[in-house]
Amino acid sequence: MYNKNIGKSLNKAKGDAGEKIAAEFLEKIGYKIIKTNFRSGHKEIDIIAESENGVLNFIEVKSRFENKFGKPVEAFDNNKKNKIIEISLFFMNKFNIGKKPVNYGLISIEFIERGSVKLIYFENACD
């Protein structure tokens, strides 16, 4: 008998692996990770990071292990973009962040055979 909770926990583990790879990538290119997995209700932003030029980046990470569900970037629709913008405003209000340049990004991660990873960073994903 199939336990659907096992599938959910496996997907969460895979998503967590993608977010870890994304955070490591951002640090390598000079970003300072401020917060990961910031939640407000049912909304979440995967990574909040500040770039070297002082821009506050709200970054969604989409990972895929098989192409049967499409490319990661295809899961970043207008609904997801709106949720990220909403939670970024909540974050900035909660922590009393004044006028600061803000950017919304997407990191697409595809796990391919033999442990290889294809990572694409869309720095301005909501433009």
Could you give all domains of the chain from N- to C-terminal order, each with its CATH number? Answer: 4-122 (3.40.1350.10)
Instruction: Report how far residue 5's alpha carbon sits from residue 8's, in angstroms, rounded to the nearest whole number.
Output: 5
Type of residue found at 4:
K
pLDDT (0 to 100) of residue 3: 46
pLDDT (0 to 100) of residue 21: 94
Residue pair 103/81 in contact (Cβ under 8 Å)? The answer is: no
Q: In the predicted model, what is the mean pLDDT of residues 113-121?
A: 85
pLDDT (0 to 100) of residue 8: 52
Judge whether residue 2 has pLDDT over 50: no
Q: In the predicted model, what is the mean pLDDT of residues 83-101?
A: 92
Instruction: Report how far residue 45's alpha carbon sits from residue 15's, in angstroms, rounded to the nearest whole number.
Output: 13
pLDDT (0 to 100) of residue 108: 92
Instruction: Report how far residue 119's alpha carbon sits from residue 98's, in angstroms, rounded to the nearest whole number.
Output: 32
Residue pair 48/32 in contact (Cβ under 8 Å)? The answer is: no
Instruction: Report how far residue 92's alpha carbon sits from residue 99's, in angstroms, rounded to the nearest whole number.
Output: 9
Q: In the predicted model, what is the mean pLDDT of residues 10-33?
A: 88
pLDDT (0 to 100) of residue 22: 96
DSSP reduced 3-state for 93:
helix
Exposed / middle / buried, residue 33 (Cβ in 10 Å: 0-12, 13-18, 19+): middle
> In sequence order, what are the residues at sequence separation of 6 or more whose Cβ sits closer than 8 angstroms to the Cβ of residue 47?
19, 22, 23, 26, 33, 35, 36, 57, 58, 59, 61, 107
pLDDT (0 to 100) of residue 38: 96
